[in-house]
Amino acid sequence: MAARIVRVILARKGMGYAELATALQAVDVSESERSLALRVTRGRVKLSMLLQILHVTHSVIPQLWLDAFSRSDSWQARATAVLEAELSRHPTVSVDDLAQRMVQLGASLSEKTLASHIDQGNISLPEFLQSILALGSSSLDLYIDYRDLIAVGRSAATERS
């Protein structure tokens, strides 16, 4: 699912991995075309890299993320701010609650691990997708159908049962 989001962004902009690798150099990301393609294909993209990709491709930023995205902090700090913005829509949901919801969707992480990933801004894109599914967020509707996220979440939950 993470790979699909990146591929949708690239397809909409008519870019390939070579062009993306070149564009990412503007934000100090040094990846070859091949390593970038492998990272995306394997779903080894962090939320911070998705933000960088959105930035260098001049893609539409989800409304809820605009404040976080416009910060002059590191990309990891922006990733933390994006997740905090998503959580802010649900003031009664703690990080522990979110972690429990994500585990029900098939994630294999503890509250402590999730809190660490949030604090350090190194949450993976697949984990982030589980978190927005658990929160019922439509922030990425421009790039992926929410129903597809639900289907993947159900599939992962079934596999764990």
pTM for this model (two decimals): 0.90
Extract the tokens encoding 67: 């404040």
The three-point CA angle 157-142-5 to 5° equals 55
Extract the tokens encoding 103: 């585990």
**Torsion, Cα of 100, 4, 72, 68 (10° steps):** -40
Contact assessment for residue 140 and residue 132, using Cβ atoms and an 8 Å cutoff: yes
pLDDT, tens digit (0-9, with 9 covering 90-100), for 3-38: 899 999 999 999 999 999 999 999 999 999 999 999
Extract the tokens encoding 65: 């993320």
pLDDT tens, N- to C-terminus, the chain (161 residues): 888 999 999 999 999 999 999 999 999 999 999 999 999 999 899 999 999 999 999 999 999 999 999 999 999 999 999 999 999 999 999 888 888 888 887 777 777 888 888 888 899 998 899 899 999 999 999 998 888 877 776 665 555 55
Contact assessment for residue 75 and residue 122, using Cβ atoms and an 8 Å cutoff: no
